[in-house]
Chain A
Amino acid sequence: MDLNLNPDELKFRDELRAWLQANVPAPFTGKGGEEEKGEHFDYLRAWQKKVYEGGWAGLSWPKEYGGRGARLIEQAIFTEEWARAEAPQLINVLGLSLIGPTIISAGTPEQKERFLPKILSAEEIWCQGFSEPNAGSDVASLGTKATLDGDHFIVNGQKIWTSMAHVADWCLLLVRTDPNVPKHKGITALLVDMHSTGVTVRPLRQMTGDASFNEVFFDNVRVPVSNVLGEVNKGWSTAITTLMNERAHLGTGIYVQFKRNLDQLVERSRQIRRGGRPVSEDPVLRQKIAQAYMELEIFRLTNTRALSKMHNQSVPGPEGSILKLQWSEYNQRFQQIAMEVLGPVAQLHGFDNGQWVFNYLRTRGNTIEAGTSEIQRNIVAERVLGLPKSY
């Protein structure tokens, strides 16, 4: 066991740190708090272009496709340094972390040449059309259908919870191409131009008031057969590749963000007084803050352990399967503790920019998105512990 970085890893970190120091832009202060709209979107798109030109976009992608071929530990270092430098996120995150790697593994040479560079530079923004109103946890039961008409598929149906669809130029879309076979065997993955005739995007407002998801309707949308990713009716395995690309190193960024929230709360607990003393001296709330610290620290360590296992053995260890449960459920507990520590001001949209009330509400989504807690527990029970399938 050795948790120190080796000389190569240190060199990588120092190089990146220096680049970030020289290039991270001043925080966005213009109008529009939501990241995927208006000036803020332009700001983020310009930032990704700069990152691309600096050679840091597509860190994990092979060098031949414009990436850096970085190994997993370097990806984790990258995410950590990124968060520490408070660098803005990369706007084309779905393209970079999910869709690009899927095109690299399943795409034709023409598709790779056509799509990959513009994912890296954020010239084309991508979204992912998997979930439907009646296909949530059970994605394979999706009903959006595509029928062949000459050298085109005609797509009809509806997707939902589609992040970024309102700004996306392209969509990795799962459609049913054969309704007469078992559900996993009739699915095809299509690369769909979101500017096509018949595509309608309707923003979905969440309980936070933001609209970062969408409903997307497809009404006789024509997609060239050359835009099939992988093989017709083999889309499920293509989708699995995408889902597997939900990389472990994403946890590192989540950690840094959560740690910042915790540090902020500790700071606030010293300033807010209740019952004649700072909240930081309240024995019950001290216990709760300590519990949060402990849980977050254990998430960090488990994430590092999972990364290290992947890095050294190229297969995910069982510890990786609990990360989603750890961070999502931690964040819900933490935001509740924050509410208790802050007291009545916590509910105000005008206090700390409304971040606490926003986060408190936003965390309800954490145990639903990217696989519900129930699905995560099913996966642990069946695939890790070997219990019989329940469905």
Chain B
Amino acid sequence: MDFDLSKPQKLLQQSARDFFVRACPPEKVREMMASGAAFDDALWREMADQGWTGLIIPEEFGGLGLTLVDLIAVVEEMGRASLPGPFISTLWAAALIDRAGSEGQRKQYLDPISMGDLKATVALLEESADWDPDAVQLRADRDGREFRISGRKDFVNDAAVADLIIVVARSGEDLVLLPVDRNTPGISIIETPAIDATRKLYSIEFDNVSLPESSALAYNTRVREALDASTETAMIALCAEMLGGMEWTLATTVEYAKTRQQFDKPIGTYQAVQHQCADMFLMIESARSAIYFAAWALSENDPGARLAVSVAKAYCSDAAREVGNRGVQVHGGIGFTWEHNLQLYYKRAKASEIMFGDANYHRDVIARKVIDETE
């Protein structure tokens, strides 16, 4: 038994850490968040050169064919750097295409995603802001051999930079998955400014957008299955990203507590401050246990994987916020400023807490499994 990253995984993680320290320092993050779409094409290309855009994509579609555990080792470092841009969105879309698409569709989309030539996102949520696919109302009505889409999607990450948008819509009673080119006539992408400027949110309006029937990835129950599975993949990656962010916050806070002097001593000498830091550490290591296990369980198709993912997301959602709270508190006034980089991580933590359902949402999933399904 070995409940840890393997040696090669640790090497991979170290190389990712070194990469982002160089390629994505905080100044770069601020520069990107001030730009329109919080995206830098050169950085994305460099990440693609490392193979990370296709890290878990099968080799036959140009990816590295590695496991989810390998993936989270890298994504943790993206979180430590607070990397802006559509990595999680593209990962989610790729996992969805991989699950739902035909051989031809997988080839069509996954190859360029692996190469870094295609960025993607998933448009699931609507005005109801419900993560349950059953809540999807957007119409994609059939008109001969075409679908016609009219209506709106909300809370879509990275839509302004995604070349491809996978739209979850309803055709008759059925759910349907439709990959749509961002530049298709009739599509408007509207930024909805939100708490995390490093990963922007958009509404997408569809005005009688027509798509060939053959473009659909999947219908009905297959949509549901593919959405569930791909969301689990994206969610555990998001959790790993949150973990990296928490680690940055703790390291920065401990460093500050060692150097900031009050009453002629470093404030880290005082137990009131020490215990805040110890709690942050406890939350981080707890999160790590939950995330590593869920990633392993998913990669092994363990029957407990779904529950493990909800455990991880419920825990990380609360922990990432709370680690941020403690970090700001220990920093005092400087931690509350725009100038200090804590704010970048603090805001990312809140947005990530909400993404794919917060702790309440996932505790509800857990309750169904441990109370209702054990009866």
Binding site for B on A (CB under 8 A): 1-6, 9, 73, 266, 269-270, 280, 286-287, 289-291, 293-294, 297-298, 301-302, 304-305, 307-309, 311-312, 318-319, 322, 325-326, 374, 376-378, 380-382, 384-390
B279 surroundings in chain A (CB, below 8 A): 377
B222 interfacial by beta-carbon distance below 8 Å = no
B257 engages A387 (CB within 8 Å)? yes
B274 engages A305 (CB within 8 Å)? no
B315 interfacial by beta-carbon distance below 8 Å = yes
A293 engages B1 (CB within 8 Å)? no
- List the one stretch of B96-104, B141-149, B168-176, B280-288 in contact with chain A: B280-288
B263 surroundings in chain A (CB, below 8 A): none
B268 engages A301 (CB within 8 Å)? no
Interface residues contributed by chain B, number (CB under 8 Å) = 48
Select the residue from B270, B296, B367 with max chain A CB neighbours within 10 A: B367
B290 surroundings in chain A (CB, below 8 A): 294, 297-298, 301
B360 interfacial by beta-carbon distance below 8 Å = yes
B370 surroundings in chain A (CB, below 8 A): 266, 289-290, 293
Binding site for A on B (CB under 8 A): 1-6, 9, 69, 250, 254, 257-258, 265-266, 268-271, 273-275, 277-279, 281-282, 285-286, 288-290, 292-293, 296, 308, 311, 314-315, 360, 363-364, 366-367, 370-372, 374-375
How many Å lie between the Cα of A384 and that of B277 in the bound state? 10
B288 engages A377 (CB within 8 Å)? no
How many Å lie between the Cα of A177 and that of B252 in the bound state? 46
B269 engages A388 (CB within 8 Å)? yes
A298 engages B281 (CB within 8 Å)? no
Known contacts being A294-B315, A319-B288, A322-B282, is A286 close to B258, with CB within 8 Å? no
B270 surroundings in chain A (CB, below 8 A): 390
How many Å lie between the Cα of A325 and that of B269 in the bound state? 21
How many Å lie between the Cα of A377 and that of B375 in the bound state? 39
B367 engages A3 (CB within 8 Å)? no
CB nearest to A6 among chain B residues: B1
A5 surroundings in chain B (CB, below 8 A): 1
DSSP class of A's interface residues: helix, strand, loop or mixed?
helix
B296 engages A3 (CB within 8 Å)? yes
CB<8 Å pairs between A and B, sample of 15: A6-B1, A286-B371, A287-B363, A290-B364, A302-B286, A312-B4, A318-B285, A374-B271, A377-B274, A378-B271, A380-B277, A380-B278, A381-B271, A385-B254, A387-B268
10 more A-B residue pairs beyond the given contacts A286-B371, A289-B371, A381-B277, with a C-beta to C-beta distance below 8 A: A1-B3, A1-B6, A290-B314, A293-B311, A381-B278, A387-B257, A387-B273, A387-B274, A390-B269, A390-B270
A1 engages B69 (CB within 8 Å)? yes
B5 surroundings in chain A (CB, below 8 A): 1
How many Å lie between the Cα of A384 and that of B370 in the bound state? 35
How many Å lie between the Cα of A249 and that of B281 in the bound state? 22
CB nearest to A263 among chain B residues: B374
CB nearest to A291 among chain B residues: B363
Minimum C-beta distance from A255 to chain B (A): 13
Known contacts being A1-B5, A6-B1, A311-B1, is A294 close to B314, with CB within 8 Å? yes
Partner of B286, one of A2, A73, A326, A388: A326
Partner of A297, one of B271, B311, B363: B311
A377 engages B275 (CB within 8 Å)? yes
Partner of B254, one of A318, A387, A390: A387
How many Å lie between the Cα of A4 and that of B308 in the bound state? 16
B269 surroundings in chain A (CB, below 8 A): 387-390
